[in-house]
Structure 1
Amino acid sequence: MKLKIALICFIIVSCLLWVMCLPDYQTAHVQSDKPQRIITTDWTIAETLRVLQAPLVGVGDKKEYATWVSEPILNNDVVDLGLRSQPNLEVIANLKPTLLINSTWSQNLIPEKLIPIDLAAIDFYTNDGISWLHTVQTTEKLAQLVDKTAQAQTLIRQTEQQFSDNIQRLNAIPQHPYVVVQFIDSRQLRIYGANSLYGVVLAKLNLNNAWQHPTNAWGFSQISLIDLATLPQNTRLIIVKPYPANVHQLLEKNVLWQTLPFSQEHHYYILPATWGFGALPSMQRFSHSLTDALTMQTANGW
């Protein structure tokens, strides 16, 4: 009996000593030198992380990103996480990310209990749309999260310099009011106000945005083709891709479009896809492509 008691005591003491020697999980996790692996379902965050050269390993709707955002191009090793609104949890789990950075409204897309991951929220858009100052400040916050503050300051300076350079180029052309639109179909459009990315860039380039009506929190109003007739006659139309494939053909047959001054050559400009809800990389892309178009440095084809 005494032998049994002694044996039980020995086993208990041995187990306690073994447990005490185990490393504390939380401490080991915090002190780990494991490199960051960042994912996001937000294209605005993705384009900024890409330019900041942060370790981005997964993006929602990667194929559609190529259509709507286009640049900066995502590397081949960046994994498609599935739908932005409903990412594939199995893909994410296999990817073993360490940090999810999303906008506030989409933070709950990935259950933390199922996939242990650090979470961070960054909002480039506000209830009032977008502004230059807020975009700069949010870029700096994002850079702090991923330890890329020097790269962020370079990005901000480059964007400001590009605006200055493009203003000089635009000084040589006649001044007109401008509106930026995207075709939903041949009769419906989104038109962008001052609180949109396009509106911010127009202001930074000292160009007059002719659309002064109220817009939603995303910076645009939905209008019909006939609403374009209310704009000043000398307004120039900036059309941003993508648009439905048959839009041009349908407009050519549309009597209303043919009577609008925008249908005339050099009264409208076709620009490559630029993410209208983006941040500094998209501002740079739009500023460059707009300046090239207005100074006739690029072809104006559908």
Structure 2
Amino acid sequence: MPTVQQFTRRTMLSATAALAATRVLRAQDVGPRVATLDWALLETLLAIGANVVAATELRQFRQVAIRPDVPEGVADLGLRGTPNFEVLRFARPDLILNSNFYAWADPLMSRIAPVETHSIYKPGESPYILAEQATRAIGARLQLPAAHRLVEELSTRLDHYKDLFARGDRRPVLPINLGDARHYRVFGSDSMFGEVLKRLGLANAWTGATSYSAMAPMGIETLASMPDAWIVLIPPHPEDAFATLTESAFWRALPAVLENRVLTVGSINPYGALPAACRFADFLAEGFSHVRNG
């Protein structure tokens, strides 16, 4: 029985690791002390070398987003929905960056430091374009030239990958995340992953409704309705879901499985910004390269 092609960050191309768009910059010892509740803004701040002093759910962020690295000195504010404002106060931020997801906290946080909003996920708008705008605006606000480089180098990188994928089989791609062995979340054209597929010249196999990121859990049986697609599994998955699913008769009978058209990539923040977009593109490029050359 064909096996699932599995790739981790350790298998990434050396050229990919060297490109500046995924380079992890150490937080500066100077410059404004910045805090945020939003993970997309957090990964953006870390990627451009901002002096981040406080953020939310850092343990989970490290497990889900993986990169950029979070310096040990960053204070953990607890849950995104119920952040610890006393810890935020003790972190002494000069500036707090927030998004529309946590706008309810603005009045409370504004008592601690000025609050600026940069939203990346809005219904009907491109998260990739909003991420570019936010990255440039934050870079200008914090006087960090790395923000401009991140935007430009990722754009160049996606153009390069697009040329590579143009020589592929042109099959549609279905990016999903397992909820359990019987359900999955699918990422449509209006998600960050969907936006990356579009910029790579790849069709998204999912043409149904979404909610500007991911569709509510779908029954695993719906995978059979997209027999021509590449299936891209994006962790994190529940601990036993992947094993249970891949051992099932239904899974083994799927055309994508029979024809080795399944990729399991590394964990990515599904509500991420440009660093998440870059990570997804890198994994696709490396995964498909292994399939072609394997």
TM-score class, shorter = 0.7 to 0.9
Which residue type is aligned with residue 285 of structure 1? R
Q: Higher relative contact order at CA 8 Å, sep ≥6: structure 1 or structure 2?
A: 2
- 1:130–1:219: structure 2 CA closer, same or farther, 3 Å change rule? farther
Which of 80, 83, 94 is the equivalent residue of 1:84?
A: 80
Q: CA deviation at 1:256?
A: 2.2
Query: In structure 2, what is the equivalent of residue 122 of structure 1?
Result: 118
Q: Distance in 2 between matches of 1:129 and 1:68?
A: 24
Which range moved further: 133-142 or 235-244?
Answer: 133-142
Q: Determine if the alignment matches structure 1 residue 95 to structure 2 residue 116.
A: no
> Normalised by the size of structure 1, how large is the TM-score?
0.81
DSSP-derived class of the 2:44 partner: helix
Query: In structure 2, what is the equivalent of residue 4 of structure 1?
Result: none
Query: In structure 1, what is the equivalent of residue 13 of structure 2?
Result: none
Query: In structure 2, what is the equivalent of residue 207 of structure 1?
Result: 202
Query: In structure 1, what is the equivalent of residue 252 of structure 2?
Result: 258
Q: CA deviation at 1:299?
A: 12
Contact 1:60 1:84 in 2 (8 A): yes
Count how many residue pairs are aligned between Structure 1 and Structure 2.
265
Which of 210, 222, 227 is the equivalent residue of 2:222?
A: 227
Query: In structure 2, what is the equivalent of residue 6 of structure 1?
Result: none
Q: Distance in 2 between matches of 1:182 and 1:299?
A: 26
Q: Determine if the alignment matches structure 1 residue 274 to structure 2 residue 268.
A: yes
Contact 2:65 2:267 in 1 (8 A): yes
1:18-97 correspondence runs (5 A): 35-97=31-93
- 1:216–1:200: structure 2 CA closer, same or farther, 3 Å change rule? same
Q: Distance in 2 between matches of 1:280 and 1:240?
A: 17
Query: In structure 2, what is the equivalent of residue 162 of structure 1?
Result: 157
Contact 1:193 1:213 in 2 (8 A): yes
Which residue type is aligned with residue 260 of structure 2? H
Query: In structure 2, what is the equivalent of residue 107 of structure 1?
Result: 103
Gaps of 5+ in 2: 1-29
DSSP-derived class of the 1:209 partner: coil
Greater C-alpha radius of gyration: 1
For residues 105-151 of structure 1, what are the alpha-carbon distances to aligned partners after superposition, in whole Å with 9 as ceiling and x for unaligned?
41333654894211111101112253433322222222233222x32
Which of 209, 212, 215 is the equivalent residue of 1:217?
A: 212
- 1:198–1:114: structure 2 CA closer, same or farther, 3 Å change rule? closer
Query: In structure 1, what is the equivalent of residue 27 of structure 2?
Result: none
Gaps of 5+ in 1: 1-33
For residues 160-185 of structure 1, what are the alpha-carbon distances to aligned partners after superposition, in whole Å with 9 as ceiling and x for unaligned?
11112222333443221111000011
Q: CA deviation at 1:71?
A: 0.7
Which residue type is aligned with residue 117 of structure 1? A
Q: Distance in 1 between matches of 2:192 and 2:169?
A: 23
Query: In structure 1, what is the equivalent of residue 243 of structure 2?
Result: 249
1:279-298 correspondence runs (5 A): 279-296=273-290
Contact 2:245 2:251 in 1 (8 A): yes
Q: Percent identity between the aligned chains?
A: 23
Contact 1:86 1:109 in 2 (8 A): no
Q: Which runs of 4+ in 1 moved over 4 A?
A: 297-300
Query: In structure 1, what is the equivalent of residue 186 of structure 2?
Result: 191
Which residue type is aligned with residue 163 of structure 2? Q
- 1:251–1:121: structure 2 CA closer, same or farther, 3 Å change rule? same
Contact 2:78 2:84 in 1 (8 A): yes
Q: Determine if the alignment matches structure 1 residue 181 to structure 2 residue 172.
A: no
